[in-house]
Amino acid sequence: MTQKFDVVVIGAGPGGYVAAIKAAQLGLKTACIEKYQDKEGKAALGGTCLNVGCIPSKALLDSSWKYHEAHEGFAIHGIEAKSVTIDVPAMIGRKANIVKNLTGGVATLFKANGVTLLEGHGKLLANKQVEVTGSDGKTQIVEAGSVILASGSKPIDIPPAPVDQDVIVDSTGALEFQSVPKKLGVIGAGVIGLELGSVWARLGAEVTVLEALDKFLPAADEQIAKEALKTFTKQGLKIRLGARVTGSEVKKKQVTVNFTDAEGEQKIVFDKLIVAVGRRPVTTDLLAADSGVDMDERGFIFVDDQCATSVPGVYAIGDVVRGAMLAHKASEEGIMVAERIAGHKAQMNYDLIPSVIYTHPEIAWVGKTEQQLKTEGVAVNVGTFPFAASGRAMAANDTGGMVKVIADAATDRVLGVHVIGPSAAELVQQGAIGMEFGTSAEDLGMMVFSHPTLSEALHEAALAVNGHAIHIANRKKR
């Protein structure tokens, strides 16, 4: 007998599992399909984010930073730490335990909210029927009132550097190194490349990042990007811009990478090479030919602003649709779609999705950059405040970077908040909350911020927008 559900979600990543839970909470009979399994053969819920992305990488970033601090940063505090060593397998084991706890937590949430987990590969057929193929090859058909496609993404492969998950690895393989490579290459100076490169550089690897673009972090505000490049270079990351990889050869557990840059043809030998040039949607065998859902040539599913596809009652969210490939974007889309299926008029503000790079210092931003606004012809006032002038940052010996607030010159409405420095992600989120309610720089400046906090840097940057900063000299308005 065919099972029938109000909602069937394909994919249990941060978009899919959140959508499934929300739909169930709204009283809809819900099933979620997931095919991936862990090493024990159990369903690995949580998608890329929990299993091989956001969470495990942050675990390694945290561990490696603690090692770096013990090795390099304790002396100034009067703490002597001799013969500090790193047990890489133990670090990797800690990461694995965190992943196991969180993925198990999603399974518990499914049970608590009444979500039915269907293990296997989900494929959308015509008339909102979904075929589920288990690991044993057996299939079943389920019927849905509504379907949410949330199959996620995977790393992009490039022909010049084929991944073998041994010497040449993708972001997944880079989370499993059992020792610190002496010389590590990273192709791609994006979020993933910088974060993973930072992990192993802190532990002693000589890291070279090869970036094909001539501009560093083009999505970030230029002032923030320049500060970041200067900081990472000082930390020992060798970032080579305009470096296009043309080929590679693995021999005797090393890889020789050929590339071209402004100086011509180059080559360099690494012990390990991480390919981190972006991600692509996982839509292979997701849609039957007669499903009616439209995709573009790159595999992205066409949707409207509410994530509805070309087929009524079928939605797509997260990395398989337009926009940034971010877990929090996927989660909020999942909630929006579940609420719309339940009959609510939910929507999402795509203009205020924060972006974060969890290096040290952290880099985060929300809203538009100064360059974007100038291109659009919007006159702006800008205020910045350096962490070097923050008492809390000084106390923590973490004074690199700044907070930047951009406001409309005519209305004073905040249009962008950009941070490089300690707790950048948290400070930008404060800015995002204010911007969601149309805050002005004056509004932020009038709020009482506790002292001493890093948040005071946001307060001072907002004051500086109109030349009212207290703890730095104000720039004269032109």
Catalytic residues: 451
Would you state the structure tokens that stand for residue 116, as one six-digit string?
């039915």
Comparing CA positions, the residue from 393, 390, 421 lying closest to residue 224 is: 421
Give the HSE-up count for residue 274: Cα atoms under 13 Å, Cβ half-sphere. Answer: 33
What SS3 class is residue 319?
Answer: helix
Question: What is the spatial distance between Cα 182 and Cα 187, in angstroms, rounded to a whole number?
Answer: 17
Q: Which residues pair with 184 in a beta bridge?
A: 207, 272
Beta strands 30-34; 3-10: pairing state:
parallel
| Percentage helix, strand, coil for the chain under 3-state DSSP, each rounded to 5 | 35, 25, 40
Do residues 444 and 414 touch, judged by C-beta distance below 8 A?
A: yes
Give residue 177's identity as a one-letter amino acid code: F
Give residue 414's identity as a one-letter amino acid code: V
> Cis bond leading into 452, ω under 30°?
yes
Do residues 254 and 182 touch, judged by C-beta distance below 8 A?
A: no
